[in-house]
Chain A
Amino acid sequence: MNLPATPLRSRPLARGLLLRAALLVAFYGLCQAAGLREYTGFLSGTHPGTLAPLPSALLGLIYLVAYLGATLLAPILLLAAGFLGLGRLARHYLRITKIYPAG
């Protein structure tokens, strides 16, 4: 039986999004493990620890970017990958029904 293959392009696209999401989460995990959360005090105008204000704020900013990446961007990328996958399935289903109409 000669079934149509799934479209070639959307699969790598979805995979790319998933990969980016995974990288964002991994980067956040790294920042968390390195203890950068402690430096987010710059948000309230304080600089905890023994570091000078600028490096302390910089570390806090890196953590903040990583956190926003993991909580805002990564889920969006995951959802987008899911939507692309759904779209691919839908198109695939439509093609099959076109080739093999019911009845």
Chain B
Amino acid sequence: MITPAINRRSGAGIRPAGAVGAALILATLVWLPCLHLLFRPHLARFYAERGIPPQAQALAAQQIMLCTNTAARAGEIAVLRRSNAEWDFMSRTYMILALANMGLRQPERKAAYLPVMDRLIEETLRLEQERGKYYFLMDYATNGAFRARPARSLFVDGEIAVMLAARRLLAEQPAYKPLLDQRVAALVAQMRQSPVLCGESYPDECWMFCNVLALDALRMAEALDGTDHTDLLRDWLAVAQRKLMDPETGLLLATFTFDGRPLQGPEGSSIWMVAHGLQIVDPFFAVTQYRRARQELGRRIFGFGFAWEWPASWRGQADVDSGPVVPVLGISAGSSGLAFVGARAFNDRDYLSALLTTLNYGGFPVIRRGQLRYCASNQVGDAVLLYSMVLGPLWREVERRGIRPL
């Protein structure tokens, strides 16, 4: 009998715990770099130069249902408003922007999209009128006094102006022209009062995101009605580049006071959309901001893309805009969601593919009856994703109709 002797000899070299440990380490080293391959998307299913890609169609079907089905809409808005009243408002803006782009991509479907846009706009205007100017703002809006007069939120005026203008760019609606004129006049008046040419979103709190959207509204009004805001736009760009930049990163600040004192540095949940919004204001400045944001905030690990909320040089706290931040990796839901807009707007396909891989893995998509939604997201998040999948034609339409050179 030789077997027992051989077994004793062979077992002496490797302890079981050591063998398992080594096997686990080796398996981890093999699996982690491979995992992303299972979730890697076919970009063509999400993004296309023409028409509407299949995933965008499925996402749009869900979003349109939420806009038109009264009961489902009430439930979804309640969910959003429980966390943040702004999200209720912003989901409308992104949905209207998405629908305008979809209508321009598919002119034969315009007739289906326009009533949804009108419904959203009319409901938003009605709610603002009935519930007051704070309805779409967070509670702390009532804690202080706006510095500019009359006291208005540029967040609300700017995004309503964008909604009205996007609708009119898809198809003229004469009833919306005076409404747009009023909002544009309010935006200009607010911005002109500030030493840094920025309107307040909240009392003595100016947000770059809102101010750039306000500039977009001015550009859209130029394209629609031939108005001239070049002086304000030129002055704004000069002031922003001089006073509203973070010196460490060269990125625009996220929030600052009415006088331009920084409150928060560059923020991922702001800068991606800011860079995209700047495309119709100053394309060169826009691309510079995107590249810097990509360098400071865009991250990729084992094939998964994500974005930080704050650059390494600025330590900020997670807030309602950033969403929960995943410890260690620093993944911010807000910044990563809006990074889709930036990556798509600047055709950064590698980063887009990595972001989509993360979305497929950690977004928890669910498709039912041809309608797609992401369980880890919410209605505003899904509206942002939809917008990222269809953006492009609206900005091109603004440029085609003619905006004045700065």
Among B2, B16, B26, B80, point to the contact of A80 (Cβ < 8 A).
B26
A97: B residues at CB distance < 8 A: none
| CB–CB A5/B3 < 8 A | yes
A25 to B300, CA, bound (A): 27
How close is B140's CB to chain A, nearest CB, in angstroms?
17
How close is B276's CB to chain A, nearest CB, in angstroms?
20
Most buried by B among A2, A10, A39, A46: A46
| CB–CB B10/A80 < 8 A | no
| CB–CB B333/A84 < 8 A | no
A53 to B381, CA, bound (A): 19
| CB–CB A45/B375 < 8 A | no
B323 in contact (CB, < 8 A): yes
Known: A44-B333, A45-B333. 18 other contacts (CB 8 A): A2-B2, A4-B7, A7-B7, A37-B364, A37-B366, A41-B375, A44-B337, A44-B376, A45-B324, A53-B82, A67-B364, A71-B35, A77-B27, A79-B23, A79-B26, A80-B24, A83-B23, A84-B23
A7 to B2, CA, bound (A): 14
Can you name 10 A-B residue pairings with CB atoms under 8 Å? Answer: A2-B3, A4-B6, A13-B20, A17-B20, A38-B375, A44-B378, A46-B82, A46-B83, A79-B27, A80-B26
How close is B23's CB to chain A, nearest CB, in angstroms?
4
| CB–CB A41/B377 < 8 A | yes
A60 to B96, CA, bound (A): 30
| CB–CB B82/A47 < 8 A | yes
A34 in contact (CB, < 8 A): no
| CB–CB A87/B19 < 8 A | yes
B240 in contact (CB, < 8 A): no
Nearest B-chain residue to A42, judged by Cβ:
B324
A33 in contact (CB, < 8 A): no
A72 to B362, CA, bound (A): 12
| CB–CB A5/B7 < 8 A | yes
| CB–CB A10/B19 < 8 A | yes
In B5-25, which residues have CB < 8 Å from any A CB? 6-7, 10-11, 14, 16, 19-20, 22-24
| CB–CB B377/A83 < 8 A | no
Tell whether A43 pairs with B16 under 8 Å between CB atoms, given A80-B27, A99-B2: no
| CB–CB A7/B10 < 8 A | yes
B84 in contact (CB, < 8 A): yes
| CB–CB A44/B27 < 8 A | no
